[in-house]
Amino acid sequence: MAKTQDELKEMVAHKALEFIPEHGILGVGSGSTVVKFIKAIHEQGIKIDGAVSSSNATTELLREIGVPVLDPNCCEPYEVYIDGADEVNDNFEMIKGGGACLTREKILASMAKTFVCIVDQSKLVNTLGAFPLPVEVIPMAREQVARTLRALGGDPVLRKGCITDNGCEILDVHGLAISNPKELETKINGIPGVVTVGLFAHRGADVVLFATDDGVKQKQVSRLHRYADLSLMG
Ligand code: 5RP
């Protein structure tokens, strides 16, 4: 029988427990799949030395289950970051930010040696962009950023009632079929007033765990591919 999305999220959240390093810092993302992951840590009695967290909501949950949450400024780059996504393509590039935590998520992903992305199968896509692309903006720049996004072919819509943990706003950009995610990430990040775009292409995932009706499957980026990509970035 086909599983519900909630059941699939539960399955992948449990599978992710296998990727928690025995010692050291764990990076923890945000969203409903991550909430299930944090609950599973608690249920299984897994001991975490300390975590860096991508949102106030995640911080609160981690503290509730007794995990010390550290300031990333006081941490060295660490081993594993675990987070969900809104879309993932075959190159392990993602759209994130459905939960408005994209900036902190990108910071923590940039500090991690391995990014483990946990999704249900509905998040796997050929081309990114059916999910509206979140862009976090400084409020006074919202309209000018929106004009520029329209010039790039998108249709930005202000996310109503949403103020991020950084005190900023989110424009959700509809109507983009993203043929070159890295190029678009660079372009949008360069618009004055943009804090972060929710395209995770330059730093994509290293491992994608995706839950299907037949169980959780795993795709892993080849190191060669990642190094080749980094060398292109100069
Ligand atoms: C939050 C995110 C989440 O990872 C993304 O929205 C997926 O969420 P969920 O696990 O609830 O489907 O990027 O900013």
Tens of pLDDT, residues 45-60: 999 999 999 999 999 9
36 with 105, same domain: the answer is: yes
- What pLDDT is stored for residue 174 in this prediction? 98
Q: Using CA atoms in the order 124, 126, 131, 136, what is the torsion angle rounded to 10 degrees?
A: 100
* Nearest one of 193, 174, 168, 167 to 133, comparing CA atoms: 174
Task: Report the alpha-carbon distance of residue 218 to residue 134 in Å, rounded.
Answer: 26
Q: How many domains does the chain have?
A: 2
**CA 34 to ligand 1 centroid distance, Å:** 8
Which of 4, 38, 86, 200 to probe ligand 1 with, by most ligand atoms within 8 A of CB? 86
**CA 84 to ligand 1 centroid distance, Å:** 5
14 with 82, same domain: the answer is: yes
The pair phi, psi for residue 219, each rounded to 5°, is: -125, 140
Assign residue 160 the CATH number of its domain: 3.30.70.260
**CA 98 to ligand 1 centroid distance, Å:** 5
**CA 45 to ligand 1 centroid distance, Å:** 24
- What pLDDT is stored for residue 224 in this prediction? 58
pTM for the model stands at: 0.94
CA-proximal residue: ligand 1, atom 7 (nearest): 85
Mark out the alpha helices in 44-180 (DSSP H runs).
Answer: 56-64, 102-111, 142-151
Nearest atom, ligand 1, residue 198 CA: 13
51 with 159, same domain: the answer is: no
14 with 69, same domain: the answer is: yes
47 with 142, same domain: the answer is: no
Banded pLDDT at 1 (limits 50, 70, 90):
confident
45 with 144, same domain: the answer is: no
Structural domain span for residue 139: 133-197
The pair phi, psi for residue 133, each rounded to 5°, is: -80, 115
180 with 151, same domain: the answer is: yes
39 with 22, same domain: the answer is: yes
What is the CA 15 to chain-centroid distance, rounded?
A: 17
Q: Span 139-146, mean pLDDT? A: 98
For residue 234, pLDDT over 80 is answered with: no
118 with 157, same domain: the answer is: no
Task: Report the alpha-carbon distance of residue 99 to residue 200 in Å, rounded.
Answer: 15
Is 105 part of the annotated catalytic residue set? yes
What DSSP character marks residue 179? S
Per DSSP, the three-state class of 90 is: coil
Q: Are 28 and 83 in contact (CB under 8 A)?
A: yes
pLDDT digits (tens, 9 = 90+) for 146-168: 999 999 999 999 999 999 999 99
Which of 96, 106, 107, 135 to probe ligand 1 with, by most ligand atoms within 8 A of CB? 96
Residues flanking ligand 1, CB < 6 Å:
29-33, 83-86, 96-102, 105
117 with 212, same domain: the answer is: yes
Assign residue 66 the CATH number of its domain: 3.40.50.1360
CA-proximal residue: ligand 1, atom 6 (nearest): 98
112 with 216, same domain: the answer is: yes
Catalytic residue among 10, 87, 93, 105: 105
170 with 70, same domain: the answer is: no
Q: Span 32-39, mean pLDDT? A: 98
